[in-house]
Amino acid sequence: MNVFATSILCSILTLSTSGCMAPPKDLDTSLAHQSAQDRYVVTLVPPPAPAAINAMHTWQVKVAAPDGAPVSQARITVDGGMPQHGHGLPTQPLVRRELASGTYLIEGMKFSMTGWWEIKLAIDASRGADTVTFNTVVRDPATSR
């Protein structure tokens, strides 16, 4: 095989397997965290069925004070991406409304491939501005049965 064909084959193999990086074995995928400056306790609520690849879905986020009291009228922005790949979310999810006291709807979530994703929330409410990051692992529905 000549050098050109070998380099093409290596490139194809690299691209076809680059989405298969395993997340760290000790990755914290819990759905409740204290914010970075301990101003809020934040719970992420994924959709009832696992999120399908390349499909839009909604999540909920619950924001409470450390004493458990719901935090209303928070302004929340959503960011994130794949740390192992160095790219962000394929969409720009938005929090447009509060469903109930301290419970907000995140619309426009989408994952473009399987693997480890971070969901980063910036919260600005009565206790001040703070951030929190959640880890989620999106699996291929065909292989997770």
The CA-atom distances, in angstroms, between 13 and each of 16, 18, 20, 63, 75 are: 5, 8, 12, 44, 44
pLDDT of residue 143: 60
Mean pLDDT of the chain: 87
Domains of the chain, by residue range, sit at 22-138
Given pLDDT bands bounded at 50, 70 and 90, which one contains residue 16?
A: very low
pLDDT of residue 1: 52
Give the DSSP H or E segment for 26: none
Q: What is the pLDDT of residues 88-127, one digit of tens each?
A: 999 999 999 999 999 999 999 999 999 999 999 999 999 9
pLDDT of residue 17: 41
Q: What is the pLDDT of residues 47-76, one digit of tens each?
A: 988 878 999 999 999 999 999 999 999 999
Given pLDDT bands bounded at 50, 70 and 90, which one contains residue 142?
A: low
Q: Hey, which residues does 78 pair with through a beta bridge?
A: 121
Q: Are 51 and 57 in contact (CB under 8 A)?
A: yes
Would you say the pTM of this structure is higher than 0.75? Answer: yes
* Fold observed for domain 22-138: Immunoglobulin-like (2.60.40)
